[in-house]
Structure 1
């Protein structure tokens, strides 16, 4: 196929359909009718000699050829836009759509205040939050379907960039009126009272040592320092009693209500959950580790002005959350 026959606008259609998996949504993104998108896709299919997308009950599913083409084509589009300045980024005027991967804890602590700030500085910018717990997170970043992933990563491959956002320790949550609420928590309390813990992936998802490794990206699966707790209790010849393990941290308040359970959570989550709730926050009675939250993105976006702006906004919001920990 000769590049001379190629209308580069067809690549923008491919990009939109690949991202949205829906012709109507792709058309809205490009300000085109569904008919125009279908026509453009037909021209591209003829040039490439492949169906590219198959219509199914779940939307437009890319063929193997489309999946193989997508990373390089989408990377090329971003580079062309950056080089030519086709889409100069002005936050106040932009209608850019950013896809961020984050768990419910970080959505509450970082994304929510970020969204409120964007109402003032970039009212047209759209945020789409995907779960960072999905097993194909690294693949989604590679394919360009996720612009930024926020979380705790033990290992980041060379093809990805990362930036430290904030550091935090752990806290213990309990209901008001809990038997241990009027005194300092002890290790005996941690063994006596059942625990609510958060785990977004176990051994069945490939988690080892509290982290899931996929395509060179190792991300946290357990939201507490299990080793520190177990070692501290072992020294006292005690053992923790984990009664409930949940994948969603925002379920913790309901689980603690009317029970004597304790919950070990990241410090920033504890600060968020005790606001306007019937919960108390306490320091762990043992030395737990400090976790570092980072943003991770693909190197192809490092010169994208819009992406750089988003990263700076996320970092600013995370810094404010870290300062609130006191």
Structure 2
């Protein structure tokens, strides 16, 4: 008889493997919690499908045929693959048998302010958890990469566009501050005149030349002289140290990237801005993803 794969369901294959492991129809029935006639009926059906007796009498017990021995390994793998299709409803980071891989899109501000504490916490768990951190540039870039699956999660400025298939969670708010080398300035550049009189460095991420600070100055008829532009905050710190150049940067960078620099109030009424984590809705119910988002949220609660 030809095998019809549609007749080989999970329960029938599980029954076969239980008989194979127990070496007894009665023991298999007890293990499965069903009556012996049920197991015998299922075995008869399986024999008809595969065209082999599978188990034959040997003394007072049964023994698998050569075909049953060949089937057992493949059925064991197949059953595990079928179990893996079920959505995981829990992720236990303390279980060394569990694993997770995440690709996070972010930039060096978030790498400096959030990621060290997050990574330290992750390394304290027993599960095999691995991160890949990639740079992101602009809302459209982030949305496309979340949709395509190139990114599992993005951490950055709160996206202004409301996109139905992208979820966001606000993490914390930030404000601007002026950083400078105190050895090169007699007075802090905390007034608008002093601010505009000194040379500036700025960070522009990506290919755009947009600067909200310069737009605010233009709106009130003032200018600043930018002598240095870089794509990362870390490079700004190393380049302006020991010079009279100042940088207008997010205030929390004083804890790491801008350690050793003096800080003063930003002399413009620059509004606070929010950082958020974003993900595609297909990952909303994933247990490992929910766990990671929860860990990130807990880390950022310390920044509020």
- Under a length normalisation based on structure 2, what TM-score does the superposition of the two structures give? 0.66
1:70-149 aligned within 5 A: 84-86=86-88, 88-93=90-95, 94-122=98-126, 124-133=128-137, 136-149=141-154
Distance 1:299 1:246 in 2: 34
SS of residue in 1 equivalent to 2:183: coil
| Counterpart contact for 2:166–2:280, Cα < 8 Å | yes
Distance 1:257 1:184, change over 3 A: closer
Based on CA coordinates, which of the two structures has the bigger radius of gyration? 2
Shift of 1:251: 0.6
Q: Deviations over 1:57-111 (max 9, x none)?
A: xxxxxxxxxxxxxxxxxxxxxxx98982457411122320111001011011101
Distance 1:154 1:231 in 2: 22
Q: Deviations over 1:104-159 (max 9, x none)?
A: 11011101110011122355211110111388433221121211001112224111
Paired position in structure 2 for 1:190: 195
Instruction: Flag structure 1 segments of 5+ consecutive residues without an equivalent.
Output: 5-79, 211-221
Distance 1:314 1:297 in 2: 13
Paired position in structure 2 for 1:154: 160
Question: Is structure 2 residue 258 aligned with structure 1 residue 253?
Answer: no
Question: Is structure 2 residue 278 aligned with structure 1 residue 292?
Answer: no
SS of residue in 1 equivalent to 2:114: helix
Distance 1:146 1:274, change over 3 A: same
Question: Is structure 2 residue 170 aligned with structure 1 residue 164?
Answer: yes
Distance 1:87 1:81 in 2: 13
Distance 1:245 1:257 in 2: 15
Distance 1:164 1:170 in 2: 18
Distance 1:88 1:316, change over 3 A: closer
Match of residue 241, structure 1, among 204, 215, 225: 225
Match of residue 265, structure 1, among 249, 257, 262: 249
Distance 1:298 1:184, change over 3 A: same
Range moving further from structure 2, 117-126 or 81-90: 81-90
Moved over 4 A (4+): 80-83
Match of residue 231, structure 1, among 219, 223, 226: 219
Distance 1:183 1:131, change over 3 A: closer
Match of residue 292, structure 2, among 301, 310, 313: 310
| Counterpart contact for 1:133–1:201, Cα < 8 Å | yes
Instruction: Flag structure 2 segments of 5+ consecutive residues without an equivalent.
Output: 7-81
Q: What's the C-alpha RMSD, in Å, of the aligned pairs?
A: 2.6
Q: Deviations over 1:270-289 (max 9, x none)?
A: 332333x3x11111112111
Paired position in structure 2 for 1:24: none
Shift of 1:309: 0.9
Distance 1:84 1:123, change over 3 A: closer
SS of residue in 1 equivalent to 2:111: helix
Q: Deviations over 1:196-254 (max 9, x none)?
A: 11111344xxx7xx4xxxxxxxxxxx5x644334435x2xxx31111111111111112
Question: Is structure 2 residue 258 aligned with structure 1 residue 274?
Answer: yes
